[in-house]
Structure 1
């Protein structure tokens, strides 16, 4: 089987590319032939150094680095991206059996969807966010710092100043969403959800599309190791971009209330605001190995207090794998891996509520018990790269069988979500 993986970067610049890279490597290790199409010019991660992986670059630029007008037009419909993708696919040594798209909002635009559908093979996209339905991609009101309750592209949606940048940016994104809906139309699109919450939330927002929903966990590339000792940690750890929608400010407030140090691993717009707080320690972005060392040596608990309906974050799974308790927002998809009171806590994203959960970890015995449970539960069914690749291969084979024998596949579309992939 020949699978084309299409992403905008060939380095882990974000969660989508990280999963795209790891998926490509995992598929190659199962014996599949993989072509990794990198849209934006730049370096490539060593994960792509595999004899079964061929990398092709489209040589595009991030459209948001251009002038305002050029960026807006290209974001809505990037004709050159479509032309280059056609040339890349036409130049393959043999045609693909499956096309798997991971991200399209930085350079590709909706213009690539007709190119993919024209190949008459299954087109799969992993939903790392909500851009398929929502103009700002996160179904979140930045103006109100709360999840959005509006129907995408409704009159109320169009009037809402919800974008994190500006009203002008919102207008561009609305136009892009309209272009996306026209590009997809009633064509069959197979979407992979990385958490159950994504499937439940986005399903009602995309009723007009011909979608088939599948559920596959993101891979977590963490080697097995003995569990950490959270009782020896003195910090409340946060890993990721420092933004209000991800709840970075809540971490600092909760740590102050609980009398703990807030350890921030990452950078972002809130960095200056957080740096002025006495209980805060910022160490910036760190390599994965350094993050693991910091968490194992410093963290009593890892907190992911997302205000938006985040589909991840991967840091929750990595913390559980290390044997660290997690406090997760009930709006984050990763919370489905946290058993409240067993390996962590699932809470509302509010500073006071977070502080209460932190105080429950004041006991060393409680911290150790939750950490041991986190480690045991994670490694009982680890989200390994091999398991992820196996699920993808199973999905691809099912889609190809369905195309070959459509009548026999009708029943499978009515199966429960957990039986689909």
Structure 2
């Protein structure tokens, strides 16, 4: 089977890229032939170095690197991205069984959707966020610091000053959302949800559109080893981008109230204010370094998302290492936390978080939560191999619908001549 994975970057600078890179590696290890198409030049994750994995770079600019007017136009519709992608797909030496798109908001733009939909192979989209429905992508009111309740692209949505930057940015995002709807038209879409909450929420937001929903967990790539000893740690840890919608400020405030150190691994606009509150901010670190740091210093890992986050992966990775997790009631990661058994599920507010952090001063409780977290993870680990197996099962089912007859793991497919009429 030959699979094309499309993402805008080739290194894990965020959750979507991390999943794209890791899934590409997992598929290659499972015997599939993988082509990884990256939109923007930049660092390349070593995971993409595999004999069955071929990488194609389109050398497109990140819209945030362009002058404002050009970035706006390119973000709404990047015709050059469509042209380069079409040429790259035409040049592939083997026919494609399935196309899998992870991102399109930073360089690809909606312009690549018609290119992908016109191919004689199924297209799958993983929904790491809400861009398929919501203009700002996170279904969150930045003006009110709360989740959105409006129907995307309704008159009330268009009028809402919800963008984190300005009304002008909102207008550009609305233009991109409109272009996305035009690009997909009435074509049937197959989408993957990474949590049950996303499946329920996006099912409602996309109601009336020809979308088929599939549910596959993100992979958790943690080396198998003995559980950590979180009772020996001293800090509440946060790993990720330092923003208000992800609740980084809540961790600092709650830790201060509870009298615990706060350790932040990541960067973002709240960095200076977190340091001003006495928090330790160490910037981004390699995954292996983060894992070692958490095992040595973390009593718990906290992700108090204010928005309806579909992850984050840091919660799953903490549980896999035997470190208690504190998840927001609004995040998809809460589905993996057994409240009071493997961690705590808390409202994303400073008061409830401070109370939860205070409970973490009990060494016996922290040790018990950590042991249970590790045991629960080991019962059914969402490993990279399990993730790749689930993806391949979906790809094969969709390819069968397209009349693609597989010729083995590395061979190209044969087609029965009816594929072109299916879209």
**TM class by shorter-chain length?**
over 0.9
1:319 pairs with 2:321: no
Does the CA-based 8 Å contact 1:329-1:348 persist in structure 2?
A: yes
2:40 matches 1:15? no
Q: CA RMSD in A?
A: 1.1
Contact 1:264–1:284 (8 Å) recurs in 2 = yes
Q: Name the SS of the counterpart of 1:204 in structure 2.
A: helix
The answer on whether the counterparts of 1:185 and 1:209 sit within 8 Å (CA) in structure 2 is no
* TM-superposed deviation, 1:282: 1.3
Deviations 1:100-139 (A, max 9, x none): 0010111110010000011131100100110000000000
Kindly state the Cα deviation for residue 94 of structure 1 after the two structures are TM-superposed: 1.9
Aligned to 1:52: 52
SS of the residue corresponding to residue 70 of structure 2 reads: helix
For the residues of structure 1 that align with 2:263 and 2:395, how far apart are their CA atoms?
A: 41
Name the stretch that deviates more: 167-176 or 291-300.
291-300
1:307 corresponds in structure 2 to 306
User: Equivalences for 1:260-409 in 2 at 5 Å?
Assistant: 260-278=260-278, 280-404=279-403
Q: Give secondary structure in 2 for the equivalent of 1:225.
A: coil
Alignment of 1:17-416 (within 5 A): 17-278=17-278, 280-404=279-403
* Alpha-carbon contact 1:184-1:209 (below 8 Å) kept: no
Q: What is the CA distance between 1:64 and its match in structure 2?
A: 2.0
| Higher deviation after alignment, 200-209 or 160-169 | 200-209
**Could you say what secondary structure the match of 1:362 adopts?**
coil
- How far, CA to CA, are the matches of 2:109 and 2:268 in structure 1? 25
Instruction: Show the counterpart of 1:416.
Output: none
The structure whose RCO (Cα within 8 Å, separation 6+) is larger is: 2
Asked whether the equivalents of residues 241 and 266 of structure 1 are also in contact (C-alpha less than 8 Å), the reply is yes
Are 1:158 and 1:174, in contact at CA under 8 Å, matched by a contact in 2?
yes
Deviation at 1:338, TM superposition (A): 0.1
Query: What is the distance in 1 between the residues matched to 2:360 and 2:43?
Result: 43
Secondary structure of 1:175 counterpart: helix
Quote the Cα distance in structure 2 between the aligned partners of 1:297 and 1:44: 28
The offset of 1:71, in angstroms, is 0.9
Query: Deviation of residue 21 (structure 1)?
Result: 0.8
Equivalent-residue separation in structure 1 for 2:2 and 2:298 (angstroms): 43
Distance 1:232 1:52 in 2: 43
* Alpha-carbon distance in 2 for matches of 1:209, 1:119: 21
- Distance (whole Å) between structure 2 residues aligned to residue 109 and residue 115 of structure 1: 12
Name stretches of at least 5 consecutive residues in structure 2 with no aligned partner. Answer: 405-423
Structure 1 runs of 4+ with >6 Å offset: none
Contact 1:9/1:42, CA 8 A, preserved across alignment: yes
Q: For the Cα contact (< 8 Å) 1:192–1:215, is it kept in 2?
A: yes
